[in-house]
Structure 1
Amino acid sequence: MSAQRDYVIMPIVMLSQDNSIQQTKLYRPFGTAGLLARPRLLDLLDAGRHGTLTLVVSPPGSGKSSLVSQWLDDRAIDAAWLQLDAGDSEPAKFIAYVVHALRTIAPDFGVETLLLLRSARLPPLDVVTTTLSNELHELGETSPCLLVLDDYHMVKNPAIDQVMAGLVTRPPQGFRLLIISRRTPAWPLGRLRIEKRLHEIGAADLRFTREETAAYLQLNAIALPDDGMVMNLQRQTEGWATGLQLAILALRQQANVAGLLGSRPMFVGGDNRYLLDYMVEEVLAHLPESTVQFMLASAVCDRFCAPLCQRLLGLGRDMVDDLLRYLLDANLFLIPLEEGSQGGADRRFAWYRYHHLMHQSLVSRLEESFEPQAIATLHRNAAAWLREQGYVDEALGHLLAIADWDTATDVLVSELGKLLDREDRQAIAHWLTLLPEAEIARRPGLLLLRGWDCFFSLDLPLLAATLRDLHALADDTQHDGEPALNLHLGRQHAVEIEGHIAFLQCAADYFAGRTEEAIRGARKALNLLTRPNTLVHGNVYVMLGSAMQMAGQSSEAEAMLRTQYQRQRPKPTQASARLLFGLTLVLTHVGDYTGAAEAASLMLREAHAADLPLLVGWSHAILGRVHYERNELDAALTHFNAVTDRRYVVNRGCAYEGFTGRMLVAAAQGDEAALSQAGDEWRQFEESLWGFPGPLYHSVQARAALLIGDTPAALRWARTFTAPPPAAPMIWLEASHITKVRCLLAAADDAERAVALDLTNACIAHVEQMHLKWLQPSLSGLRALLLARTGARAEAVALLATALHRSRGEGFVRSYADLGPAIVDLLRAIDDTALAEPIAQIVAAI
Structure 2
Amino acid sequence: MSTTIVSTKLYIPSPRSQAVLRPRLIERLNEGLRLHRKLTTISASAGSGKTTLLSQWIGGCPQPVAWLSLEKEDREPSRFLAYLLAALQSIGVDIEERMVSTLHSPSPHPLPIEAIIMAMLNHITAKPDGVILVLDDYHVLDSKPIDRALGFLIEHMPPQMHMVIASRKDPDLPLARLRARNQLTEVRTPDLRFTSMETSEFMCHVMGLDLSGEDAALIASRTEGWIAGLQLAALSLQGHPDAAGFIRSFSGSHRNVLDYLIEEVLQQQPESVLDFLLRTSILDRLCGSLCEYVLQREDGGSPMAAVSGQETLEYLERANLFIVPLDNERRWYRYHHLFSDALRQRLARKGNDAADGKRIVEKLHRRASDWHERHDFGLEAFQHAVAAQDVDRAARLMEGEGMPLIFRGAIHPVLNWLDSLPKAELDARPALYVMHASALLMVGQMNGVERKLQAAEVHLPAEDDGNMRDLIGHIASIRATLAVSKHQPEVIMTESQRALEYLSPHNLPVRTASMWTLGYAYQLRGDRDAAGRAYEEAAAISQKIGHFMIAMMATLGLGLLQEADNQLYAAAVTYRRVLELAGDPPPPAACEAHLGLARICREWNDLDAAERHGLKALQLAAQFEQTDRAVACEVFFARLKLLRGEVSEAAAMLAKADRLARQQQFMSQLPFIAEAQVLVLLQQGNFNEASQLAQEHGLRLSQARVLLAKGDAGAALPIIEPLLAQMEAKEWADEHEQLKVMVVLALALHAQGDKLKAARIAANAVAKAEPGGFIRLFIDEGLPMQELLRAAAASQPIREAAGTQPMHDYLKKLLHAFEIDGPESADKSSPSQLQLAESLIEPLTRRELEVLRLIAQGLSNRQISEKLFVALSTVKGHNRIIFDKLQATRRTEAVARARELGLL
TM over 0.5: yes
**Aligned-pair distance for 1:25?**
3.5
Residue in structure 1 matched with residue 128 of structure 2 by the alignment: 142
Instruction: Go from structure 1 to structure 2 and tell me whether the alpha carbon gap of 1:796 and 1:665 turns closer, same or farther (over 3 Å shift).
Output: farther
Rounded to whole Å, the distance in 2 between the matches of 1:77 and 1:609 is 30
Residue in structure 2 matched with residue 491 of structure 1 by the alignment: none
Residue in structure 1 matched with residue 846 of structure 2 by the alignment: none
| Structural mapping, 1:506-521, within 5 Å | 511-514=487-490, 517=493, 521=497
Rounded to whole Å, the distance in 2 between the matches of 1:550 and 1:91 is 35
**Aligned-pair distance for 1:659?**
4.8
Residue in structure 2 matched with residue 62 of structure 1 by the alignment: 48
**Aligned-pair distance for 1:73?**
1.8
Preserved CA contact (<8 Å) 2:110 2:588: no
Gaps of 5+ in 1: 1-13, 340-346, 487-493, 726-736
Instruction: Go from structure 1 to structure 2 and tell me whether the alpha carbon gap of 1:580 and 1:75 turns closer, same or farther (over 3 Å shift).
Output: closer
From 221, 225, 228, give the equivalent of 1:239.
225
Q: For residue 373 of structure 1, what is the amino acid of its counterpart?
A: R
Rounded to whole Å, the distance in 1 between the matches of 2:285 and 2:745 is 70
Q: TM-score, normalised by structure 1?
A: 0.72
Residue in structure 2 matched with residue 584 of structure 1 by the alignment: 559
Aligned partner of residue 477 in structure 1, secondary structure: coil
1:265 aligns with 2:250: yes
From 313, 321, 333, give the equivalent of 1:352.
333
Deviation track 1:95-147 (CA, whole Å, cap 9, x = no partner) reads 6654443333243259999798777544798x5698379548725x6221222
Residue in structure 2 matched with residue 361 of structure 1 by the alignment: 342
Instruction: Go from structure 1 to structure 2 and tell me whether the alpha carbon gap of 1:640 and 1:418 turns closer, same or farther (over 3 Å shift).
Output: farther
Q: For residue 529 of structure 1, what is the amino acid of its counterpart?
A: P
Instruction: Go from structure 1 to structure 2 and tell me whether the alpha carbon gap of 1:375 and 1:792 turns closer, same or farther (over 3 Å shift).
Output: farther
Q: For residue 131 of structure 2, what is the amino acid of its counterpart?
A: C
1:35 aligns with 2:19: yes
Instruction: Go from structure 1 to structure 2 and tell me whether the alpha carbon gap of 1:529 and 1:779 turns closer, same or farther (over 3 Å shift).
Output: farther
Preserved CA contact (<8 Å) 1:448 1:470: no
Rounded to whole Å, the distance in 1 between the matches of 2:687 and 2:366 is 63
**Aligned-pair distance for 1:283?**
1.0
Residue in structure 2 matched with residue 607 of structure 1 by the alignment: 581
Q: For residue 563 of structure 2, what is the amino acid of its counterpart?
A: T
Residue in structure 1 matched with residue 434 of structure 2 by the alignment: 447
Q: TM-score, normalised by structure 2?
A: 0.68
Residue in structure 2 matched with residue 287 of structure 1 by the alignment: 269
| Structural mapping, 1:448-467, within 5 Å | 448=435, 450-451=437-438, 454=441
Residue in structure 2 matched with residue 729 of structure 1 by the alignment: none
**Aligned-pair distance for 1:818?**
6.2
Q: What is the root-mean-square deviation of aligned Cα atoms in Å? A: 5.7
Preserved CA contact (<8 Å) 2:746 2:762: no
**Aligned-pair distance for 1:530?**
3.0
1:643 aligns with 2:630: no
Aligned partner of residue 417 in structure 1, secondary structure: coil
Higher mean alpha-carbon deviation, 326-335 vs 626-635, is at 626-635
Residue in structure 2 matched with residue 4 of structure 1 by the alignment: none
Preserved CA contact (<8 Å) 1:644 1:658: yes
Preserved CA contact (<8 Å) 1:333 1:358: yes
**Aligned-pair distance for 1:331?**
0.8
Residue in structure 2 matched with residue 326 of structure 1 by the alignment: 315
Higher mean alpha-carbon deviation, 274-283 vs 802-811, is at 802-811
Deviation track 1:559-605 (CA, whole Å, cap 9, x = no partner) reads 8977998999989994876665454344334444455445545x358
Q: For residue 704 of structure 1, what is the amino acid of its counterpart?
A: A
Deviation track 1:642-666 (CA, whole Å, cap 9, x = no partner) reads 5345445799666665554444344
Preserved CA contact (<8 Å) 1:115 1:613: no
**Aligned-pair distance for 1:280?**
0.7
Q: For residue 27 of structure 1, what is the amino acid of its counterpart?
A: Y
| Structural mapping, 1:95-244, within 5 Å | 97-109=83-95, 120-122=108-110, 131=118, 135=122, 138=125, 142-154=128-140, 156=142, 172-185=158-171, 198-220=184-206, 222-224=208-210, 228-244=214-230
- Among the aligned pairs, what percent are the same residue? 25
Q: How many residues align?
A: 779
Preserved CA contact (<8 Å) 2:194 2:227: yes
Deviation track 1:217-265 (CA, whole Å, cap 9, x = no partner) reads 3335644475554444344334332222112222235444355334x23
Instruction: Go from structure 1 to structure 2 and tell me whether the alpha carbon gap of 1:605 and 1:357 turns closer, same or farther (over 3 Å shift).
Output: closer
Rounded to whole Å, the distance in 1 between the matches of 2:426 and 2:704 is 46
Rounded to whole Å, the distance in 2 between the matches of 1:332 and 1:776 is 79
Preserved CA contact (<8 Å) 1:137 1:173: no
**Aligned-pair distance for 1:668?**
2.9
| Structural mapping, 1:678-693, within 5 Å | none
1:777 aligns with 2:739: yes
**Aligned-pair distance for 1:332?**
0.8
Instruction: Go from structure 1 to structure 2 and tell me whether the alpha carbon gap of 1:468 and 1:594 turns closer, same or farther (over 3 Å shift).
Output: farther
Residue in structure 2 matched with residue 50 of structure 1 by the alignment: 34
**Aligned-pair distance for 1:288?**
2.6
1:301 aligns with 2:283: yes
Instruction: Go from structure 1 to structure 2 and tell me whether the alpha carbon gap of 1:839 and 1:682 turns closer, same or farther (over 3 Å shift).
Output: same
Preserved CA contact (<8 Å) 2:199 2:216: yes
Aligned partner of residue 54 in structure 2, secondary structure: helix
From 483, 486, 492, give the equivalent of 2:465.
483
Instruction: Go from structure 1 to structure 2 and tell me whether the alpha carbon gap of 1:225 and 1:589 turns closer, same or farther (over 3 Å shift).
Output: closer
Deviation track 1:390-441 (CA, whole Å, cap 9, x = no partner) reads 333333433444655443333333277377988x6xx547854663295778
Instruction: Go from structure 1 to structure 2 and tell me whether the alpha carbon gap of 1:57 and 1:90 turns closer, same or farther (over 3 Å shift).
Output: same
Residue in structure 2 matched with residue 435 of structure 1 by the alignment: 418
Instruction: Go from structure 1 to structure 2 and tell me whether the alpha carbon gap of 1:796 and 1:191 turns closer, same or farther (over 3 Å shift).
Output: same
Q: Relative CO higher for 1 or 2, CA cutoff 8 Å, sep ≥ 6?
A: 1
Aligned partner of residue 435 in structure 1, secondary structure: helix
Instruction: Go from structure 1 to structure 2 and tell me whether the alpha carbon gap of 1:359 and 1:763 turns closer, same or farther (over 3 Å shift).
Output: farther
Residue in structure 1 matched with residue 68 of structure 2 by the alignment: 82
Over alpha carbons, which structure has the higher Rg?
2
From 276, 279, 292, give the equivalent of 1:310.
292
Preserved CA contact (<8 Å) 2:749 2:757: yes
Instruction: Go from structure 1 to structure 2 and tell me whether the alpha carbon gap of 1:807 and 1:147 turns closer, same or farther (over 3 Å shift).
Output: same
1:706 aligns with 2:678: yes
Instruction: Go from structure 1 to structure 2 and tell me whether the alpha carbon gap of 1:796 and 1:697 turns closer, same or farther (over 3 Å shift).
Output: farther
Aligned partner of residue 335 in structure 1, secondary structure: strand
| Structural mapping, 1:404-803, within 5 Å | 404-414=390-400, 417=403, 428=411, 431-432=414-415, 435-436=418-419, 443-444=430-431, 446-448=433-435, 450-451=437-438, 454=441, 476-478=460-462, 481-483=463-465, 485=467, 495=470, 511-514=487-490, 517=493, 521=497, 524=500, 528-530=504-506, 539=513, 542=516, 574=548, 580-593=555-568, 595-597=570-572, 599-600=574-575, 603-604=577-578, 607=581, 617-629=591-603, 633=607, 636-644=610-618, 646-647=620-621, 659-672=634-647, 675=650, 694-695=666-667, 700-708=672-680, 709-710=682-683, 768=730, 771-778=733-740
**Aligned-pair distance for 1:66?**
0.9
**Aligned-pair distance for 1:320?**
1.7
Instruction: Go from structure 1 to structure 2 and tell me whether the alpha carbon gap of 1:289 and 1:251 turns closer, same or farther (over 3 Å shift).
Output: same
Preserved CA contact (<8 Å) 2:50 2:166: yes
**Aligned-pair distance for 1:172?**
3.3
Q: For residue 361 of structure 2, what is the amino acid of its counterpart?
A: I
Rounded to whole Å, the distance in 2 between the matches of 1:92 and 1:594 is 36
Residue in structure 2 matched with residue 7 of structure 1 by the alignment: none
1:375 aligns with 2:361: yes
Instruction: Go from structure 1 to structure 2 and tell me whether the alpha carbon gap of 1:431 and 1:677 turns closer, same or farther (over 3 Å shift).
Output: farther
Higher mean alpha-carbon deviation, 79-88 vs 497-506, is at 497-506
Higher mean alpha-carbon deviation, 291-300 vs 763-772, is at 763-772
From 308, 327, 341, give the equivalent of 1:338.
327
Q: For residue 450 of structure 1, what is the amino acid of its counterpart?
A: A
Deviation track 1:53-97 (CA, whole Å, cap 9, x = no partner) reads 444343322222112212212445532223344556677765665
Instruction: Go from structure 1 to structure 2 and tell me whether the alpha carbon gap of 1:529 and 1:635 turns closer, same or farther (over 3 Å shift).
Output: farther
Gaps of 5+ in 2: 297-301, 351-355, 819-824, 829-904
| Structural mapping, 1:245-256, within 5 Å | 245-252=231-238, 254-256=240-242
